[in-house]
Amino acid sequence: MSLDLLLGLQWGDEGKGKIVDAITPDYDIIARFQGGPNAGHTIEFDGYKHVLHTIPSGIFNKDSVNVIGNGVVIDPAIFLKEINGLKKFDLDLHGKLLISKRAHIILPTHKIIDATSEASKGKKKIGSTLKGIGPTYMDKTGRNGIRVGDIINSNWKNKYQILKEKHLDLISSFNQDVDLSLDLLENEFFEGIECIKSFNIIESENYLNESINNGKKILAEGAQGSLLDIDFGTYPFVTSSNTTSAGACSGLGVPPNKIKNIRGIFKAYTTRVGSGPFPTELFDSTGEKIREIGHEYGATTGRDRRCGWLDLVALKYSIQINGVTELNIMKSDVLSSIDKLYVCTSYNLNGEEINFFPYDINSNKIIPNYKEFKGWDDDITQIKNEDNLPDELISYINYIENFVKVPIKLISVGPDRNQTITRNR
Ligand code: GDP
Ligand code: IMO
Ligand code: MG
C-alpha cells in the first residue's frame, strides 16, 4: 500500500531510465509525474538500446502498467514516434499504457515560441531542448492550456485555433527567423492526436489512489533532476516543472502520506547539458575523458554534456529538498583509469567558506573546495558483487555516504539492466 519515488539529484541524465527499468519487476505500476519529451531516458537490455521521452521506463516489463500522469506535458508528434519505435518489442501497448485526462498538450506553436524565445535571448539563452516545454507550462499556469481530456470533445479545435492565433502574435513579437514549418508541425501533431485518442485516457488520480488502496505497488518516475527544478534549481537555468518529490504529489494526485521510499539517483561525477552554473565543471582533458568514456552526449538533443567532479554540497541540498531515503550511485565504471578523483565538500563565496547551496549560485564567485581520492585501474563493468569492487571505489562510496548521511544501496557499473550491484547491507 505505498508509493515509492525515483528522482535524479543532479542536472538530469543520472541514469533514471536504467534504474526504473531494472527495478520495475518490484512494482505493479510505473507513473511519470512531470516534464515532457525534454527527457531522454535510456534503457539497455539484450543488446537493445532504447531511449524513451514521454512513456514511463517500466514499459518493457510485460506485467507492468505505465501511467503518464497529469503533471506531464505531451507532444503528440513525439508520442506517436515513441509508440511506433516500440512496435518491434511485441508489447501490449494499448493494454499497459494509460494517459491522464489532465496532462497538458504541447502544440506546434509552443515549439516555435520556445525556439524564437531562445533565439531572442542570444548569449543568455537557457539552452532549452526546444521541445516547447516552457511555453506549454506557461499556458498551463496561465490557464489557457489544452489538456488530453479536451481532445476527446469535438469542439476542441476552436480552442486550438484561438490559442494558435495568440501564439502567432507572440512569435512575431520576437522578430526571429527559425527553421520550423508550422504546416509540417501541424500535420504530425494531428496524426499524433489520433494516436493519443486510441489509448485509454483516464482520471489517473483516481486509478492511482484506488490502486494504492488495493495494495498495488507504484513507482513514480521523475524526469530531469533536482537542480533543474523550477523553484529550487539554478533559476533561470532550469526546466519549467517541479522535478523534486513534491512534484510527484501534484503531478499524480497522490497525497504525501502515501509516499514510502524516495530513491535518489546520482552519477559518481556530475554532468550538465545546456547553460547555467556548474561550480565543479572541468574544462581540461579529464573533463573530455569523462565525456568520451561516459558517452556524455544528450539522449534527446545529442549535445555535448558538460562534465565535472561530484559536488557533495549540491547533492546534500538535493537530498534535503527531496527527503531522499536511499541513494543509487551511477556510472562509477566511467571513473576507472582516472588517476586522482576529487569531490567538492564546500564552496568559497566572497572569501567565506559555506556548506550550503546558495541562492547566488549563479554568480561566478563560487569556488569549490575539494577532497582528493586515489583512483582505480580495474575494469569493473562485469563485477556482480560489492566485495569484488576495488578498495579505492569502496572508500569513495563510503566517504559520500558518511558525508550525506543516506545509505547508498545500489552501485551501477554499466548501462545494461544487469550491470547493477545491490549492496548486501
Ligand atoms: P536519464 O535521463 O536519467 O534516464 O539518463 P540518460 O539516459 O539521459 O543518460 C544516462 C546514460 O548513461 C545513458 O546512456 C545510459 O545508458 C548510461 N548509463 C546508465 N547507467 C550507467 C552506468 O552505470 N555506467 C555507464 N557506463 N553508463 C550508464
Ligand atoms: P532527463 O529526464 C538533462 C535541461 C536543458 C536546459 C534546461 C531547460 O533526460 O534527465 P527545457 O527543454 O526543459 O526548457 O530545458 O533543462 N534539460 C535537461 N537536461 N536531462 C533532462 O532530462 C533535461 N530536460 C531538460 O538542457 O538546460
Ligand atoms: Mg536523459
pLDDT digits (tens, 9 = 90+) for 233-291: 999 999 999 999 999 999 999 999 999 999 999 999 999 999 999 999 999 999 999 99
Cell triple for 64: 507492468
Q: Give the residue-averaged pLDDT of 326-331.
A: 98
Q: Whole-angstrom Cα distance, residue 59 to residue 29? A: 10
Assess whether the C-beta atom of 139 lies below 6 angstroms from ligand 1.
no
Q: Is 41 a catalytic residue?
A: yes
Q: Whole-angstrom Cα distance, residue 107 to residue 110? A: 5
* 13, 114, 229, 311: the active-site residue: 13
Return the pLDDT at 357: 97
**Nearest C-alpha to atom 26 of ligand 2 is from which residue?**
274
C-alpha distance across the termini of the chain, in Å:
24
- What is the residue-wise DSSP string for 69-129? -TTBEE-HHHHHHHHHHHGGG---HHHHEEEETT-EE--HHHHHHHHHHHHHHGGG-----
Is the pTM higher than 0.95?
A: yes
Q: Which residue has the cell 502498467?
A: 65
* CA 275 to ligand 2 center in whole angstroms: 10
Return the pLDDT at 1: 63
Query: Per-residue pLDDT tens for 392-419?
Result: 999 999 999 999 999 999 999 999 999 9
Q: Which residue type sits at 350?
A: N
